[in-house]
Amino acid sequence: KNQWTRSNGTLSYIVPKSLLYSERWFSLVESMIWNVSVLVDVEKAFEKVKLEQVVFVFNKVIKTDSYLARKFLDDNFQYSTCIKNETALKLKAWICGVKEDEISLVEGLEIKLTQLNQISLTRRGIGVQKHLSDKGEFKVLGGKNIFRYGVSGNKGFITKEVMERNSKKLGFLKQKKIISQDLIAHIQNPFPHIKIMSFLDIKGEYIGLDTIQNTVINDLGYDYKYVLSLLNSKFVSWYTYKFIYCSAIRTMHFDNYYIGKIIIPAIDITQQEPFIQLVDQILSITKDDDYLDNPDKKAKVKRLEKEIGQLVYKLYDLTPEEIKIVE
């Protein structure tokens, strides 16, 4: 950036969108952001190119404490939002593709919050896909076996020998944990959003492939079921999509860096109890073998999830207008 322009020159690039949220690229964002006046999300700009793109406009002379984040889609600018650099740096995400009311909602959160990385540690499962077989001593899960609050089937089996070769990782996996899909599902309709999928492995009995993320809570002040209810909530999926992955639609891994940036209300165990009770009711239903084929049970879980959703909105102290933004 310092060699290819004159002292008062302007540099503009179209680059992969992962620049906005990738852990490995954020030091570059930190060095550039004070000289970037415009950032444009153009999504999948090139035919037959699956990667999303963004455009930035950089000038060495112009110093700015904010940037104009724009959304360009279907040959038109959809909206533009002025975002403070300090907000992007605080969130460690070069936010783009958000509207003014969305950024105002997050900047206006006044409750006491903590990031998930302050109370937990997340690690991937084991990469033993090539050793899977139809028979073996140990059952292994893949990402597709996970649904919200439950698990269905398995990816295959591995032998005791394979388990022993992965003994270092297994010590972490064989404990109580929240298991989540690594690749987050992006859903286009009725509007672009993501859906985090997590369930609770109470006994530490499930071993997952590296398409799964395993989260262990290391702060006794937070109940697993409380955290699980937040991960599976609409608000947390909305926040994660907009302010962690910067509205990306492809290849969003749920590694420790990203799940760790999720903000959760810092409340005591007594206040967590309503969430715990609702999750207990859900888990008592989703454990049934016929759950996924039983419309009545699925409808009951949906009602319970809606109750949790309303508690979550109340917990984050959202107004009715702000709830509409998330919904």
Quickly list DSSP for 290-321: TGGG-HHHHHHHHHHHHHHHHHHHHHTT--HH
Domain boundary among 97, 125, 144: 97
Q: Which two tokens stand for residue 35?
A: 């000289």
Residues 262, 321: one domain?
Answer: yes
Q: Which two tokens stand for residue 156?
A: 């295959």
pLDDT number for residue 189: 66
CA distance readout (Å), 259 to 5, 33, 218: 38, 24, 15
Residues 50, 152: one domain?
Answer: no
Domain boundary among 97, 131, 147: 97
103 found inside a domain? no
CB 181 within 8 A of CB 143: yes
pLDDT number for residue 2: 55
Residues 34, 157: one domain?
Answer: no
pLDDT number for residue 163: 79
249 found inside a domain? yes
Question: Buried b vs exposed e over 298-307: b needs ≥16 C-beta within 10 Å?
Answer: eeebeebbee
250 found inside a domain? yes
61: containing domain: 10-97
Domain boundary among 44, 63, 97: 97
Whole-model pTM: value is 0.91
158 found inside a domain? yes
**To the nearest 10°, the Cα dihedral for 34, 37, 43, 45?**
-120
244 found inside a domain? yes
Residues 53, 172: one domain?
Answer: no
266 found inside a domain? yes
Residues 15, 70: one domain?
Answer: yes
Residues 93, 120: one domain?
Answer: no
pLDDT number for residue 81: 95
299 found inside a domain? yes
Q: What total of structural domains would you count in the chain?
A: 2
Residues 88, 120: one domain?
Answer: no
R_g of the chain computed on alpha carbons: 21
Residues 203, 295: one domain?
Answer: yes
Mean pLDDT by 10-residue block, N- to C-terminus, for the chain (327 residues)? 67 90 93 94 76 89 92 85 95 93 92 95 90 84 94 88 81 93 78 88 92 96 98 96 89 90 96 98 96 96 98 96 95
276 found inside a domain? yes
